[in-house]
Structure 1
Amino acid sequence: MLQFSINQQIFFSEYYEKNLYLQRNAFVSDISWKEVNRALHVMQMAPSYIQIHDGKSLIPEDEYKENHVHAGIHTTRLNQESLYARLREGATLIVDKMDSVSLPVKRYCDFISQFTGQPVVANGYAAFGEKESFGNHWDTHDVFAVQLIGRKRWRIYSPTFLLPMPDQKSRDHKQDCPAEPIFDDYLNAGDVLYIPRGWWHTAIPSNEETFHIAVGVHPARTVHYATWICQQLLPNFLPSRYSLTPFSEDQSALEKIADHFRELLLDPEKLTEFKKAITEYNRIKPEFALQSLAD
C-alpha cells in the first residue's frame, strides 16, 4: 500500500492547503487494465459516471453511449467501438467515483482518507494519446494524483484564487492562470502528487498508455460549521423563529440572534460535537466479508 516519507503532522503543518507534495515510489501498483475493464463493466449500470473529454470539452454522451434493452428493461450502455475510436483520437476516458466499484482503488482511497482524516472520492483517467485531459484548471477540493499505469506529465501553477468552494469554478477565471508553471514533470507508476485546491494544473498524456486516479479530499469547511449551527442549534433560540413581515420590527431580534449565534459558534464544545458528527458520518466503510458468516 501507499507509503509517505512524512507523517500527518508534517503534512498538515507544511503542505495541506499550502504547498505541493510529491512522493516518488510511494507504492507498487497492483492495478492493470484488467481491473479498469472490470470497473467499466460494472459502471455500465450507472453510465452517467462515465465521460470522455477531448482536451477541449466533454464529448456529448450520445456519441459513445447507446440505448439498450435487456430482459425487457430499457437502459443505456457504452458503445465500445465509439469509445475506442475516441480514445484512439487522443481523448481521455473519465470514470467517476471509481472507488465505489473497484476494491483496489478503494484501498488506495482508504489509506488517503485515514492519512488526512477526511472522506475521499476517486475518479479514474485513462488515455492513450497526447491531448490534455482538461486544460489548465483548478479543483475546488484537494487532490492526490495517484499514477497507476504508465506515466503522465503534470504542470502546476500558483493559485490566483485561494481555497475555492464548490461553486467557485476556474472556468470563470481562465485568464488569471499564470503563464509559467512552478512544477513541470512526469509522474510514473507508483508516484503520488498532492495538489491543494485552487492551484492551477493540467495533466498531459505522452502518446502512450496511462491511467491515474485523482483522489479528491472533501472535508467540512468552516462555513459548514456555521450552517450546522444555524440549522441544528439556532432554532432553539426563540428570536430566530420570529416571522419577518412588512410590519415587524426586526432589528432588535436580529441583534439578539447575532449575539447568540456568536456565542454558539465560539463554543469549543459545539465545535467538538460538530466534528464528532462529521467523523461518524464519514467513517470508512469496511469491505464486505460474507465468508465470515460461514465461520
Structure 2
Amino acid sequence: MTTPASKLGRELAAAFGPEFVGKQLSNEVVLKHLDPELLREHFSWRDLNEVLSRGRVEPAELKLCAGGKSLPEHEYMVTRAGHRVVDLGKSFSLMRSGVSLVIDSLDRIHPAVRATTDDVMRFVGETASCNLFVTFDDAQAFDSHFDEVDTFVVQVLGTKHWQVHGPSEEHPLPEYGDSDPARCPETVLFEKTLESGDVIHVPRGWWHTVRGGGESSLHLTFAFTRRTGYDWLRWVAYRALRNVDVRESLTRAGTLAEQRAQAERLVTAFASEAKSLTLADFFDAERRGAGGRDAASLPWDVLREHPPVEMVIELATVLPPLLEVRGEHVVLIAGDQEFALPVVHHAACESLLRERRIGVGELAQRSGASKAAVSALVSALLRARLVIATDDGAARSTGWRAS
C-alpha cells in the first residue's frame, strides 16, 4: 500500500492496522476512536454551511430523508434563474420537524473528503465514495436496513445511536438480496451511541438501526464496494469475446437440439477462458485500467519549463500503477495506457509509487538522480497526467475553507 495522502487517511489506516483487510474486513463490526479535533479540522459545520450556501451540490447529490424514504424534491428545491437549487428556508423547516439531510458522494465536491476517500480506496483496495448524514435530536432517516457495501462510519460531531443486528443472508449485492425491513434480525450484536471521534466498520449485508443520539449529529460514511465473483465472471465473459462462439447470434428459431448444442459451445468457451485466468490476473487488469480523479496542476499543465525542486507532486491514480522494466525502458501502466521512460528513472518511479506524495528535490535525493533529471521526469509525468502538482504539499489534505 502506498502512503496515504491525507492526515485522516493515515490515522484511519493506523487505527485499523495492517491485519484489518485480511481478517476483519467484511467479517465483523470493528470500533476505533480517532482524535475528535482531527475530524473537525477535516469537516465541520462551516464546511457544510459553505456547501449549502452554494444552493447546488452537483455532481454530489443532496436529499432530505424521513421515515425511511427520500422526500420529493419539490418540498425543498426551487427553480431560480433557470436552475434547481436548495431552498434553505424550506429545508431547515423540514429538518426542525425531524427530517435528516444526506449528501451522497460528498467526495466529488470537497477536496479534503476526496483525499481521505482516495486513501480509503488505497487502504482496502476497492472503489469508495463518501456520504454525509446530518441529523438533529433523535431523528431517524432510514428504517432498519443493510447496505450492499462495506463502510467506515466516522462520527464527526454530536452523537448517533447505532444497533447492528448482523446479516440475514450472506454477501448480498444490489442485484441480489432481500432488504425488506421485516427480515431484520432481532438479535443486536453491537450497540453504542457513537460520539465525536468514534469510527465503526459495518460489514456489507449487516442490518443496522440508526437514530440521532438526542443532539445535532454530523457523520461521514466511507462506503467501498468489494469485487465479487460476479465482477470476475463479467470480466471473464468480456475477455471471451475473442471466441467466435461467444459473438455468434443465439439460435432463437433453431430446434431444441440446435439450441442445446449452442449452449454447450458457449459453456465450453466461457469455461476455457476462465480456466486460463487467475484472480491475480483480474486484480492486475484492474490496476492496469485504474485511473484517478481528473485534477488540474496549473500552471505546470501548460508551461514548458520543468517544475522547481521545491514543488510537491502526488500520484494521480487511485491504485498504484504497474511498473515494468523492458530493456532500456521502465514502463508505467495505468488508465489502460503504457508510459515508457528511460530505465535510469526506475529508482525514482519506485520511490514515487511507494511514497505517493513527495517533493521533487526529495525524490531526486532518494533515487540518487540529479535534480535536473528528476525535474524533467516530473514534467513528463505531468503531461501524461500520472501526477498532479501543488506548491503547498499540505493544502490538498488538511482541509478546505471558503475564500
Question: 2: distance between equivalents of 1:22 and 1:124?
Answer: 19
Aligned pair partner of 2:51 in 21, 25, 39: 39
Q: Which has the higher contact order (CA 8 A, sep 6+)?
A: 1
| 2:248 paired with 1:242 | yes
Cα pair distance change 1:41/1:99, threshold 3 Å:
farther
Give the aligned partner of residue 113 of structure 1: 121
- Other-structure match for 1:22: 31
Q: Secondary structure at the match of 1:193?
A: strand
Q: 1:111 to 1:286 in 2, by over 3 A?
A: farther
Q: 5 Å matches for 1:1-295?
A: 1=8, 2-3=11-12, 4-8=14-18, 10-25=19-34, 28-29=38-39, 30=41, 31-42=43-54, 44=56, 46=58, 49-69=61-81, 74-168=82-176, 170-171=178-179, 173-230=180-237, 232-243=238-249, 244-247=251-254, 249-268=258-277, 271-285=279-293, 288-290=296-298
Whether the 8 Å CA contact 2:159–2:214 is kept in 1: the answer is no
Name the SS of the counterpart of 1:290 in structure 2: coil
- Find the residue that maps to 1:268 and give its secondary structure: coil
State the distance in 2 between where 1:281 and 1:39 align.
32
CA distance in 2, matches of 1:287, 1:154: 37
CA contact (8 A) 1:150 1:211 kept: yes
**Which structure has the larger Rg?**
2
Q: Say if 1:169 and 1:260 are closer, same or farther in 2 by CA, change over 3 A.
A: closer
**In structure 2, what is the Cα distance between the partners aligned to 1:84 and 1:145?**
24
Seq. identity, %: 22
Q: Secondary structure at the match of 2:142?
A: coil
For residues 117 and 42 of structure 1, the distance between their equivalents in structure 2, rounded to whole angstroms, comes to 33
Partners in 2 of 1:42 and 1:279 — Cα distance? 36
Asked if 1 retains the 8 angstrom alpha-carbon contact of 2:140 and 2:210, the reply is yes
3-state DSSP class of the match of 1:250? helix
Distance in 1 (alpha carbons) for counterparts of 2:124 and 2:61: 25
Counterpart CA distance in 2 for 1:222 and 1:47 is: 30
Could you tell me whether the CA contact under 8 Å between 2:162 and 2:209 is conserved in 1?
A: yes
Query: What are structure 2's unaligned runs of at least 5 residues?
Result: 1-7, 308-403
What amino acid is the match of 2:93? A
- Contact preservation (8 Å) 1:118, 1:282: no
What CA distance in whole angstroms lies between the structure 1 residues aligned with 2:275 and 2:252?
30
**1:213 shift after superposition:** 1.1
2: CA distance between counterparts of 1:63 and 1:280? 45
1:35: Cα distance to partner?
0.8
Cα deviation digits, residues 14-41 of structure 1 (max 9, x gap): 2122111111226621121111122334
Distance 1:79 1:196, change over 3 A: same
Count of aligned pairs: 287
Is the Cα–Cα contact under 8 Å of residues 53 and 91 in structure 1 kept in the other structure?
yes
Structure 1: unaligned runs, 5 residues or longer:
none
**CA distance in 2 between partners of 1:104 and 1:18 (Å):** 29
Give 2:15's aligned amino acid. Answer: S
The amino acid that maps onto 1:86 is: L
The CA distance in 2 between the partners of 1:42 and 1:258, in whole Å, is 54
1:254 corresponds to which letter in structure 2?
A: A
Distance 1:129 1:17, change over 3 A: same
2:15 counterpart SS class: coil
- Opposite residue 263 of structure 1, the aligned amino acid is S
CA contact (8 A) 2:52 2:86 kept: no
Q: CA separation in 2, counterparts of 1:45 and 1:6?
A: 31
Q: How far apart, CA to CA, are the structure 1 residues paired with 2:59 and 2:280?
A: 40
Report the aligned-residue RMSD.
Answer: 2.4
Aligned partners of 1:12, 1:289: CA distance in 2, in Å?
Answer: 33
TM-score (norm 2): 0.66
**1:162-182 residue CA offsets vs partner (Å, 9 max, x unmatched):** 1111134554x3222112311
More displaced 10-residue stretch of structure 1: 258-267 or 278-287: 278-287
